[in-house]
């Protein structure tokens, strides 16, 4: 018989709306939520169900990191492919654990080094390692002289792990078929570039319509979804026109782009992935760029344009997702929840609205079947228990010591962060790994404070 556990005395944010319920209860039966709401309304609960009093802790749905690069190793932006694959694989196992520990129970990959994502996903699904539900991508697909073609020609062998250069519709189809053969769920496609890139700036389309149509139609025939790097209005329009599922960045929008996104809002998601720009502006000097050079490359304007773009998209009901480009030296793994702070401070959302982007909307992006993102009877039991109130200050989610536990698919994980290594105490050794619901370890962690 599967585990059945009833959490009581929670401040419960179900993700269905912006409200939280004081005195909330959530009943998890096996891998599903059986009830989430006021304890008073729960009805009869059998004697055999374990009860855990959360002492007023906050319970929310698991979050989705919607633009993940789990295989990146906290390198600089031009060194993403410089870590040997064996070492990157070891990092990635740790990164996956850290992402789950940070409260992110799902992730949509926007590009993997080598085939690491696919192997991570498989190991996570089999229970060999811990990590989020992962929509795995493979190597980036881009044209010659695109943003996937980072290095000068004499250094081309360095590209092996990061990008697949494909020019022309049939080469693009072959790249997508290769990703399919290798087990990817997501195709990452570069439609334009970066301010930093001399040969692929935002706004200069790196693929023709014919190539984009080939890539996306080929991916969809094979049951894969497509994530695009689209900074400019032109690249966003190209993505929408040919049916991309996840549009990354969307920094510069014109009226036509906003209208196209509005009309497609039920089938696609946009993620601004603003962390990279914000942190690049803050740390440019330590990365060897003067403030003047960064300004000339347009990064200050890009942040301003993105604030405007997010506001326009939300005004017309386009779902804007949390996450993006964590795993670089300036956006290290484990800091994913910074995005919620950017959504509040930069984009002007309330904490509750930012949480809905991370939970309800991120869950809908991961699972179009509707089993993720909210805590409602019948859905998969993915949740986070927080010793604090993110509705008062979303930054509490950046503090791993305040995340008491994470549940994914009905399995309760405690002590996942670096501050709480597995074998910190004798109790850790006696607890199953991951801790089963209702174990001594779980109860101790949950009762903390």
Contacting residues toward Zn ion, per CB under 5 A: 110, 325
- Decide whether 110 or 289 has the Cβ nearer to Zn ion: 110
- Nearest to Zn ion of 26, 196 (CB atom): 196
Q: How far is the CB of 399 from Zn ion (least distance, A)?
A: 25
44: Cβ contacts below 8 Å, ≥ 6 apart: none
Three-class secondary structure assignment of 344-383: HHCCCCCHHHHHHHHHHHHHHHHCCCCCCCCCCCCCECCE
Minimum separation from the CB atom of position 68 to Zn ion (A): 9
Non-local CB neighbours of 117 within 8 Å, separated by 6+ positions: 70, 71, 109, 134, 136, 137, 138, 184
Question: CB of 248: closest distance to Zn ion in angstroms?
Answer: 6
The residue among 110 and 299 lying less far from Zn ion, judged by its C-beta, is 110
* Pick 113 or 406: Cβ nearer Zn ion: 113
Q: Which two tokens stand for residue 265?
A: 């809002």
Query: Contact at 8 Å (CB) between 148 and 209?
Result: no
Q: Provide the pairing of β-strand 4-12 with 58-61.
A: parallel
For Zn ion, the closer of residues 112 and 439 by Cβ is 112
Q: How far is the CB of 254 from Zn ion (least distance, A)?
A: 23
Residue that the structure tokens 């018989």 belong to? 1
Distance CA 273, CA 346 (A): 12
Nearer Cβ to Zn ion (248/298): 248
CB of 65 to Zn ion, least distance (A): 11
- The smaller minimum CB distance to Zn ion, of residues 69 and 97, is found at 69
Q: How far is CA 122 from CA 95, 134, 362, 411, in A?
A: 15, 9, 21, 17
DSSP-assigned letters across all residues of 31-91: TEEEEEEEGGG-----TTSEEEE-TT-EEEEPEEEEEE-TT--SB-TT-TT-S-HHHHHHH
Residue pair 226/216 in contact (Cβ under 8 Å)? The answer is yes
β-partners of residue 383 are 61, 407
Smallest gap from Cβ 63 to Zn ion, in A, equals: 18
């Amino acid at each position: 018989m599967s585990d059945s556990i009833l959490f009581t005395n929670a401040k419960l944010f179900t993700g269905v709306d912006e409200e939280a319920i004081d005195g909330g209860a959530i009943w998890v039966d096996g891998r599903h939520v059986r009830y989430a709401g006021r304890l008073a309304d729960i009805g009869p609960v059998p004697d055999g169900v374990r009860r855990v009093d959360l002492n007023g802790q906050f319970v929310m749905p698991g979050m989705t990191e919607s633009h993940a690069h789990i295989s990146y190793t906290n390198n600089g932006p031009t060194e993403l492919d410089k870590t040997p694959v064996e070492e990157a694989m070891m990092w990635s196992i740790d990164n996956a654990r850290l992402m789950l520990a940070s409260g992110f129970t799902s992730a949509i990959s926007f590009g993997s080094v080598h085939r690491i994502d696919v192997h991570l996903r498989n190991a996570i699904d089999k229970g060999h390692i811990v990590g989020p539900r992962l929509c795995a991508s493979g190597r980036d697909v881009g044209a010659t002289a695109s943003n996937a073609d980072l290095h000068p020609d004499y250094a081309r062998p360095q590209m092996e792990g990061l990008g697949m250069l494909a020019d022309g519709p049939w080469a693009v189809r072959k790249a997508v078929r290769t990703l399919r053969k290798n087990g990817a769920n997501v195709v990452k496609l570069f439609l334009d570039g970066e301010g930093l890139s001399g040969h692929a700036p935002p706004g200069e389309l790196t693929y023709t319509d014919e190539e984009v149509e080939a890539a996306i139609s080929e991916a969809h025939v094979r049951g894969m979804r497509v994530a695009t790097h689209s900074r400019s209005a032109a690249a966003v329009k190209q993505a929408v026109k040919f049916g991309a599922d996840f549009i990354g960045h969307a920094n510069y929008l014109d009226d036509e782009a906003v209208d196209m996104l509005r009309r497609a809002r039920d089938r696609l998601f946009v993620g601004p992935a603003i962390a990279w720009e914000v942190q690049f502006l803050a740390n440019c000097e330590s990365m060897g760029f003067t403030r003047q050079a960064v300004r000339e490359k347009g990064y200050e304007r890009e942040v301003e344009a993105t604030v405007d773009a997010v506001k326009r998209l939300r005004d017309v009901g386009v779902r804007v997702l949390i996450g993006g480009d964590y795993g670089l030296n300036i956006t290290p793994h484990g800091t994913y929840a910074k995005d919620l702070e950017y959504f509040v401070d930069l984009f002007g959302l309330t904490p509750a609205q930012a949480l809905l982007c991370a939970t309800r909307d991120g869950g809908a992006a991961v699972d179009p079947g509707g089993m993720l993102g909210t805590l409602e009877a019948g859905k998969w039991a993915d949740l986070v228990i927080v010793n604090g109130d993110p509705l008062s200050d979303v930054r509490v989610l950046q503090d791993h010591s305040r995340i008491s536990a994470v549940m994914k698919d009905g399995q309760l994980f405690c002590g996942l962060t670096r501050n709480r290594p597995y074998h910190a105490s004798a109790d850790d050794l006696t607890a199953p790994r991951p801790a089963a619901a209702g174990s001594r370890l779980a109860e101790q962690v949950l009762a903390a404070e």
